[in-house]
Structure 1
Amino acid sequence: MSIRTLLTALAAATTLLFPLILAEERQKCGEASYFPSEQTCYNDKTLCPKQYSLPSRPCAGSGGCYLPQEYTCGDDGILRDLPDATGPFTLAVWGERFAYRNQTIKACGGYLAIGANARQCHACTAAGGTNCGSYKNATVFLPDGKMNAAVPGHQYWFVDPSTGLLQYTEALPRNASIGWNTTVPSQEFAGLNVKVKQNGLFIWDKEGSSYTNHWWFACLVTLPGGAVSTARSWRIYAPIISELNGCELVRIVATAVDKSYGVYKYS
């Protein structure tokens, strides 16, 4: 992504936030004043900035603030990286737009999306003794690139290397070898270039990439035959191409859940 494109996206996010700031009243934090949309006050003396609407916290002894979705603060005041996720997790998007702030990513039709019209599509059949009632039917991911689905053959989440679109596969045949010349990736592409922190950030982290801010794009989708913005759902893209229209910068946070929150099959 070019510097011009990044600055344009940041300016757009600031423009969205500006009317909110105008409507806000400043609050006091000790002797300082602040806008609650921009900062959080701790112990009536310490202000920490919000990043993509995520509150950061003070780290005693370090003299700075940190995101708990990115680091832990030790008693010694030293910031340390969160450990990698080891079990099932859901994903939520955070950004300046209220319409999708802390919106859970849902799976439907091979796409992962957020927003009022984003759908959760799943299927289950009791054939063979499957207990369909044992699943809580949320969109749940696994750190190894699998979707949390019980269907034989597995389903996988992946970032399309040509567009950056975050998607998932149908259940793949056993021992399948399916490449990028078809509509789904082979198993070795699942979860490629993505790191997941335990109860922390879901990070696009391609080796050699210049993208170090751990952000993604949420891009507005219009359903066929609908006017612009009528769909009110956004698909998620990694920042690997230079121009994306109708998109805003966001961060994605993983939250650990029990494995029962998954589905039999995502449809």
Structure 2
Amino acid sequence: MSIRTILAALAAASTLLFSPALAEDHKKCGEATYLPSEYTCYNEKTLCPSQYGLPTKPCSGSGGCYPPEQFTCGEDGVLRDLPEATSPFTLSTWSVRTAYQNQILRACGGYLAFGANARQCTACTAAGGTNCGSYKNATVFLPDGKMSAAVPGHQYWYVDPSEGLLRYTPALSGNASANWNATVPYQQFAGVDVKVYENGFFIWQREGRSSNYWFACLVTLPGGTVSTARSWRLYSPLIPDMRGCELVRVVATAVDKNAGAYKYV
């Protein structure tokens, strides 16, 4: 066998080994074939695509597929918005890249981030009879713009208008908490720039414009290198020059308020 023949055979084998089609088996849906990572088959005949790693569903009246994180399909076949959130919730990211799918946001140092090195920073003191063991220390948000924290003065989540970054405040004690609307223009921050659906999308909105995606931007923490101590933070989608960032969707999942922390630090 000639060298040329051997090289051709190796090239063909390499193509087969690394072909995406071999990494996942096709399935049948009626007369069509599909990849389960890209589509979902309903009633053995209707295909709906996945968007940002989330499956969509068919709605006969609309004639298409819809994201169940934003709409419901009524018996009359009409799409309607999900109700806005009333429950405490956690947040997770979703993307076309599997590394960004179902990544939980964590609070630390005033920032909200996800990824292997995104830290969860909470604190509690037993002074005054506080039962620190009653808190589970997850990063939990409330629909009214507060964090699910029991510390006096409250903590709030908000979109920082100077850079579009999703953040949270320290505990605002005394008049700072009572006058939150005045001291940190509440109407521009906590819970106002964002619409949250019950068990659905966490959507950025302002002045009649809205978007159900965010930018996830890589941050290398102090002392870290390119391959270590990294996490991703979320920025609103209407902030310019987000080159190098990943488009993600953010989904709220209802949880028990007691899953939160005494204080996020």
How does the TM-score come out when normalised to structure 1?
0.85
> 1:135 corresponds to which residue?
135
Q: Which amino acid aligns with 1:236?
A: L
* Cα distance between partner residues in 2 of 1:218 and 1:158: 16
Higher-Rg structure is: 2
> 1:162 corresponds to which residue?
162
Q: State which drifts further: 32-41 or 221-230.
A: 221-230
Contact 1:156 1:187 in 2 (8 A): no
Unaligned runs of 5+ residues in structure 2 are 1-18
**Structure 1 residue 187: deviation in Å?**
4.4
Correspondences of 1:196-211 after superposition (within 5 Å): 196-209=196-209
* Cα distance between partner residues in 2 of 1:216 and 1:256: 20
> What secondary structure, in the 3-state scheme, does the structure 2 residue paired with 1:260 have?
helix
Check if 1:173 corresponds to 2:183: no
**Structure 1 residue 65: deviation in Å?**
1.1
> What secondary structure, in the 3-state scheme, does the structure 2 residue paired with 1:117 have?
coil
Instruction: Give me the identity figure in percent.
Output: 69
Instruction: Output the aligned Cα RMSD.
Output: 2.1
**Structure 1 residue 167: deviation in Å?**
0.5
Unaligned runs of 5+ residues in structure 1 are 1-18
**Structure 1 residue 35: deviation in Å?**
2.2
* Cα distance between partner residues in 2 of 1:133 and 1:243: 44
> 2:216 corresponds to which residue?
218
* Cα distance between partner residues in 2 of 1:140 and 1:178: 20
Correspondences of 1:1-267 after superposition (within 5 Å): 23-176=23-176, 185-188=184-187, 189-209=189-209, 212-267=210-265
* Cα distance between partner residues in 1 of 2:174 and 2:238: 31
* Cα distance between partner residues in 1 of 2:227 and 2:252: 27
**Structure 1 residue 75: deviation in Å?**
1.2
**Structure 1 residue 73: deviation in Å?**
1.1
> CA-to-partner distance for each residue in 1:162-215, whole Å, 9 max, x for gaps?
2111000100122215799xxx94544212311011111100011233xx4411
How does the TM-score come out when normalised to structure 2?
0.86
> What secondary structure, in the 3-state scheme, does the structure 1 residue paired with 2:85 have?
coil
* Cα distance between partner residues in 1 of 2:61 and 2:30: 20
* Cα distance between partner residues in 2 of 1:178 and 1:42: 48
Distance 1:252 1:133, change over 3 A: same
* Cα distance between partner residues in 2 of 1:26 and 1:158: 44
**Structure 1 residue 135: deviation in Å?**
1.1
> 1:15 corresponds to which residue?
none
**Structure 1 residue 151: deviation in Å?**
0.4
Distance 1:160 1:58, change over 3 A: same
Contact 1:193 1:207 in 2 (8 A): no
Q: State which drifts further: 115-124 or 32-41.
A: 32-41
> CA-to-partner distance for each residue in 1:17-51, whole Å, 9 max, x for gaps?
xx856843432211111222221111221100111
Contact 2:216 2:232 in 1 (8 A): yes
> What secondary structure, in the 3-state scheme, does the structure 2 residue paired with 1:205 have?
strand
* Cα distance between partner residues in 2 of 1:107 and 1:29: 43
Q: Which amino acid aligns with 2:229?
A: A
> 2:10 corresponds to which residue?
none
Distance 1:200 1:158, change over 3 A: same
* Cα distance between partner residues in 2 of 1:203 and 1:46: 28
Q: Which amino acid aligns with 1:106?
A: R
Contact 1:220 1:229 in 2 (8 A): no
